């Protein structure tokens, strides 16, 4: 299960960040860390990118990047 698969309104907990190098570091700088809770808010009108809430703020990222972030769906 990865972040790109969550539907708007669904919550998850990050279990692994598969992205490497610059993208991984950038994600971590933005608070995308293992163990962090994340909620998918919206999908852009054209289907990409997506908007998520993490660490109490809104972040947008492309699905390609979101695919590298493994999550565990929270009920």
Partner 1 sequence: MSLESGVKSLELKETERKTITVAVAGNPNSGKSTLINAIAGTRLYVGNWPGVTVEKKSASLEYEGTNITLVDLPGTYSLSPYTQEEIIARDYLVHEKPDAIINVVDATNLERNLYLTVQLLELGIPVVMALNIHDEAVSKGYKIDIKTMEDILGIAVIPTVATKKTGLNDLLKAVTNNTSARHPKKLNYGSDIESAASAVEGQIKNGYPQLLEKYPLRWLAFKLMEGDSHVMEEINIGDYSFIEEAAKHLKKAHGDDVESIMADERYALASGLTHEVLKKPEFRKMELTEKIDNIVLNRFLGIPIFLAAMWVVFKLTFDFSAPFADWIDAMTTGPFKRWAEAVLGFIHAPAWTASLATDGIIAGVGFVIVFVPVIFAMMFFITFLEGSGYMARAAFVMDRAMHAIGLHGKSFIPMLLGFGCNVPAIYATRVLENPRDKALTSLLIPLMSCGARLPVYVVFIGAFFTAYAGTVLWSLYVMGIALAVLMGIIFKRTLFKGESPMFIMELPPYRMPSFRSLMIHTWEKGKHFLIKAGTYILAVSILVWFLLNLPWGVENKKDSYLGKMGQVIAPVLEPIGFGNWEAASSLVSGLIAKEIVVGTMGEIYVQKKDEKKELPALTDDLKEIGISFANAVKDSASNMISTFGIASISSEESTEEKEERSPLKDVIKNKFTPLSAYAFITFVLLYMPCVVVAIAMRQEFGTWKWFGIAFAYQMVLAWGVALMIYQGGKILGIGG
Alpha helices for 1-75 (secondary structure H):
21-29, 63-66
- Kindly tell me which residue out of 3, 65, 69, 71 binds partner 1, with binding defined by CB under 8 A: 65
- Kindly tell me which residue out of 15, 16, 26, 74 binds partner 1, with binding defined by CB under 8 A: 26
Q: Is residue 1 a contact residue for partner 1 (CB under 8 A)?
A: no
- Rounded to an integer, what distance in angstroms lies between the CA atom of residue 62 and that of residue 49? 4
Whether 51 and 1 have beta carbons less than 8 Å apart is answered as no
Q: Is residue 58 a contact residue for partner 1 (CB under 8 A)?
A: yes
Q: Which residues bind partner 1 (CB under 8 A)?
A: 22-31, 33-34, 41-49, 51, 55-62, 65
């Amino acid at each position: 299960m990865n972040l790109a698969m969550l539907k708007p309104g669904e919550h998850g907990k990050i279990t692994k960040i598969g992205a490497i190098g610059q993208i991984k570091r950038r994600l971590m700088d933005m608070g995308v860390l293992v163990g962090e809770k994340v909620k998918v808010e919206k999908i852009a009108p054209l289907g990409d990118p997506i908007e998520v809430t993490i660490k109490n703020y809104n972040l947008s990222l492309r699905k390609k990047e979101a695919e590298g972030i493994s999550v565990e769906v929270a009920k």
